[in-house]
Amino acid sequence: MGDISTGQETQVPAFQPLHSGCSKIPSQSLPYASGVALSGWRWRQCGLTSNVEWNACMHSKPTTEIFTDLLDAKKIPDPFLDENEKLVQWVGESDWEYACDFTHNAANAHAFQDLVFDGLDTIAFVYLNEELILESTNMFHAHRINVTGKFHDGLNNLRIIFHSALKYGKDIEKKRGHYRSFNGDHSRMHVRKAQYHYGWDWGPVLMSCGPYREVRLESYAAQINNIFVDSQLSCDLQQANVNVSFDAATNQDVEVDVCMTSPSSIRYHGTAMVHKSNTGGLLSLTIPKPELWYPIGHGPQVFYTVDIELKASSGTILQSTTKKIGMRKARLVQNPLEDQPGSSFYFEVNNNPVYSCGANWIPGHSFLTSMTDGDYTAALTALADSNQNMIRVWAGGVYEPDIFYEECDRLGILVWQDFMFACGRYPCYPEFAASVKKEAVDQVLRLRNFCSIIVYAGNNEDYCIAENLKLDWDMDDNSGDWRSTDFPARTIYETYLPSIIAKYSPSVPYHPGSPWGGNGTEDPTVGDTHQWNVWHGSQEKYQLWDKLVSRFVSEFGMLGFPSVKTINKFVTDPKQRYPQSSVLDHHNKADGSERRLALYVMENLRVNAMDLESWVYATQLMQAECLSFAYRSCRREWRGPGREYCGGNLVWQLNDCWPTQSWSLIDFYGDRKLAYYAIKRVSANLSLGINRTTPELKALKGPPEKITDPPHDLSFKMYIFDVWAINMTLNNFDAKIEVRLFDIMTGALVEEKYLPVCSLAANRTTELAADLAVLQTTAIQARMLTPDGAVIARASDWPQPLKYVLLPCALDMGIVLTVMDGLVEIRSETPVKCVQLYLADGSRNDVIWEDNGVDVFPGDIYAIKAPGLEEGDDVRMRFYGSS
């Protein structure tokens, strides 16, 4: 440990890496050079003839892939349009070749030269000046190849052959055997490639390849990398012990200086000496009263700036780098509960219990190199704006690039990070096991400085597959080696991965899989569950979501169509723009989804028309209703210390990877579905919930047996409702609650109840009223108000199913819109369900609706902010029953 001091010091400018394409490395004033990210790629199909012409990439980016290059060259139709996906399958069945040139100046060279590959997709053979220097069969591996002495003085050539991953997998399958998977070709079980490339129930089969992450030439005299700033906080959070570790490559004795600057500009210093024979080092700092990073809604997102300098014995700076580090203490809490069986499952950050409210993330594009930093920022900002605080990086995609996690750190979004094993029975033969071990180490080393990562999970639904296929899964067998069973990958999930996390990122909890719990994967009392008995499974009514809650619901969802504007972009033939067209069916990859979607729409909604606009609205309304029931039911069960009966809910899914019908909240072109706004309202830190039911249903612990509710049940049913408030802030909150019941047909106020000013306890649900009688001809509105009468939150409840609700003629509802600069006010003389605002000019993208799809009640002006809107704009609306 070096000496530690605080105070001001003279700043040394950080070295800036070079990014100059495939060109000569300029002479540097510093003896250390970070080198170049190679670009200027060219490509061609290989395996045809020896004189196939090269094609230059039509961009200068350092990353690329074959589908985008073929599209740029106009050699394939756009697979996102119409049914063109069928026309481009040959691409993934072919081998491809990339190459670039760069200049090396031996006079300016340093002691070491490395070629660094951050990611090659997938079966890659790399040649430097026609010498094979690397064979890679894992898309998630990073490679650092020492190429010292292998460069020509002058022009050099790097060439990469990418073999078809599909054909490679099938060849391995013949040798190693058939391993079952759900979604995609079964041969994907053998190939460490993004599994969604093989097709999923929301995505196409587009088997891309190429240098999808940077390839860099690094030339240096000395270097440190794999820097890890590990902060261990005391129980009372009053002290942080910080260990800064690193790997080193040097041919001389060097000094590593570390300066940590707090958010309030206090500096802490440490120094470590590294001998030329060492391969790494460690230094420690002690920081009193550390300034902590918190998830959104729980405190500030603040960061320590860590400046690291590598110095020669002469004092010359050989390397300089900077990292932003958020300090936080995280824990996965699984404790016994009061009054209920099992144990809790929630996350604690800096000793504060956090209810995790969020979404699942799939890759943002089928072609990963098409994603920009701005795309990640926009998607994650939209998540945060919808009052969500967690994102799950799903196991069938990729370990996302640094920008994704940087934005999560900045926004205060917690990250549930899966390892990339999804929906299959994976092997564990020696070569496969060695590959996934390196994959896990490479990725954990890269990701471990991001404070937003709150948990690692071993896989997605692979334990469900084990149950479904009745594999050898003995939960009492804790031997740690199951390679000889027919569930060999259990060794990966329960032995290899947790040991890697414990070694390289010990402050982050590990969970063997998702779902994973006590007695199997569907135990609602332990661990997390994927609740798909709405939509899949038993296809329960979504009004019964209060019977489906578990300790942590990490997947659930409901499908909804994308916007008409989005459909018009990918369906080029106007004659195909109707709900059951072949093109729209092609863009729906979920098996049987047409029947399921129709089932849920027809069970719940009155559908007066089947044109595209009406069907889009109906599916989006149904999706919004379903997810509202789910969110309210889960959040209600966050009841305070010892009663954390549900610790989180993560909806499937936030986004799309191509234009499709799916469970997403935001469609591929960025249009927000009605469900996005619905969960934004119900997830607010201060919110209300209403649940209408019968005494018989309320008494049940789970969904009723379907035979107990025959179609000719003529008995009279009495309906009751409960009201509760949710305060997810960290302070008690005084509020007034107003409950009003309206006749739906006439708009007459039937009943009004005022609850006196009550104190809503912090970070939990407060039950306000129970078993109040209600007629099925009335709609309920509850409002939360400050003591001086300002409206904070609203909730509404309607008789279910909505298709039975008798509505007045649309012209008699008395709905009035008032359009102002940046604002629309909605008034109504009768209760109105799901008022959706839109611009008559559908081509405009300059107006952002901050809310939409709202329920409006008499005597309550509903104001919707809309940045970019101007008074006089032609704003139109649709609502339930308007057509």
DSSP characters over 861-879: -EEEE-TT--TT--EEEE-
Please state, in angstroms and as integers, the Cα–Cα distance from residue 700 to each residue in 199, 233, 705, 761, following that order: 40, 45, 10, 28
Rounded distance between C-alpha atoms, residue 243 and residue 263, angstroms: 19
Spatial distance between the Cα atoms of 181 and 185, rounded to a whole number of angstroms: 8
Q: How far apart are CA 255 and CA 272, in angstroms?
A: 6
Tokens representing residue 579 in the block: 């709900």
Is residue 32 within 8 A of residue 110, CB to CB? The reply is yes
User: How far apart (Å, rounded) are the C-alpha atoms in residues 625 and 635?
Assistant: 16
CB contact at 8 A, 734 and 759: yes
Q: Determine the distance from the C-alpha atom of residue 414 to the mean position of all C-alpha atoms in its chain, rounded to a whole number.
A: 10
- Phi/psi for 371 (5° steps) reads -75, 130
Amino acid at 870: E
CA 606 to chain centre: 34
3-state secondary structure of 275: coil
Which residue, among 530, 406, 551, has the nearest Cα to 459 in the 3D structure? 530
* Rg, Å, the chain Cα set: 29
- Residue whose tokens read 């005391």: 234
Collapsed DSSP state (helix, strand, coil) of residue 346: strand
Strand order in the sheet with 254-261: 267-274, 254-261, 304-312, 317-325
The rounded distance, in Å, linking the Cα atoms of 848 and 837 is 11
Question: Distance of CA 251 to CAs 178, 243, 350, Å?
Answer: 49, 25, 42
Place of tokens 């003085």: 153
Rounded Cα–Cα distance for residues 490 and 510 (Å): 14
**Catalytic residue selected from 85, 218, 309, 461:** 461
Strands (E), 597-674: 648-651
Cβ-Cβ contacts under 8 Å for 346 (sequence gap 6 or more): 332, 333, 353, 354, 355, 356, 552, 644, 647, 648
Go through 679-715 and write b for each residue having 16 or more CB atoms within 10 A of its CB, e for each that does not.
Answer: bbbbbbbebbbbbbbeeebeeeeebeeeeeeeeeeee
Query: Would you call 497 exposed, middle or buried from its count of C-beta atoms within 10 A (0-12, 13-18, 19+)?
Result: buried
- 8 A C-beta contact, residue 54 and residue 206: no
DSSP type of residue 36: E
Altogether, the residues listed in the chain come to a count of: 883
Alpha-carbon distance of 152 to 61, in angstroms, equals 25
Amino acid 272 reads A
Query: Would you say 358 and 630 are in contact if contact means Cβ atoms under 8 Å apart?
Result: no
- The CA distance from 186 to 465, in Å, is 13
Residue 339: both structure tokens together: 């009054």
- Rounded Cα–Cα distance for residues 295 and 412 (Å): 4
SS3 786: coil
Beta strands in 172-326 (DSSP E): 215-220, 222-233, 239-250, 254-261, 267-274, 280-288, 304-312, 317-325
Known catalytic residue at 461: yes
Residue in the structure block whose two tokens are 């100046």: 105
Alpha-carbon gap, residue 233 to 237, rounded angstroms: 6
- Calpha distance 680→386 (Å, rounded): 4
Task: Report, as residue numbers or ranges, the catalytic residues.
Answer: 461
